[in-house]
Structure 1
Amino acid sequence: MYMTVPETAAYLSMPQEQVNRYILEGRIKAVHDGEQYMVNTSQFETHFQQLELAKQQLEEWKATPIPDDVDIKDED
């Protein structure tokens, strides 16, 4: 599905200026239809999958308890 730059900015939760800059830099692939740039949203699927995986790994890491250090000597 193709979206305009303002729709893409809302979809990615970033400013329109940044989306425009990424399009001009080639970091976001877009097609110019004579009036405006159109962006295919399928190019962001792996990005969102990687974000979800990173969030899941961070939550697992936070939930892992810190193991007791074997070098600690009890002074009692």
Structure 2
Amino acid sequence: MYKSVAETAKDISMPEDQVLRYIYEGRIKAVHDGKQFLINSTQFDTYFEQLERIKEEIEIWRNTPIPEDIDVKDED
């Protein structure tokens, strides 16, 4: 599905200026139809999947208890 720069910026929570800069840099693939850039939104699917996976891993890391230090009970 192709979206305009404004729609894409809203979807990925990024300013429109930055989306345009990424298009010019080649970081976001887009098609120019003579009036505006159109961006295929499926190119962000992998990004969002990876972002969700990273959020889950961070949550697991935060919920993992800190193991007791073995040297605490040592009475040398």
Alignment TM-score, normalising by the size of structure 1: 0.95
When the two chains are superposed, the root-mean-square deviation of aligned CA atoms in Å is 1.0
Segments of 5+ residues of structure 2 without an aligned counterpart are none
Percent of aligned pairs with the same amino acid:
60
Q: Which residue of 2 aligns with 1:25?
A: 25
5 Å-filtered alignment, 1:27-42, equals 27-42=27-42
Q: Which residue of 1 aligns with 2:4?
A: 4
1:74 Cα offset (Å): 5.9
Aligned residues: 75
5 Å-filtered alignment, 1:1-76, equals 1-73=1-73
Segments of 5+ residues of structure 1 without an aligned counterpart are none
Distance 1:23 1:12 in 2: 14
1:72 Cα offset (Å): 1.3
The letter of the residue matching 1:67 is P
Alignment TM-score, normalising by the size of structure 2: 0.95
1:73 Cα offset (Å): 3.2
The letter of the residue matching 1:53 is R
Q: Give runs of ≥4 in structure 1 deviating > 2 Å.
A: none
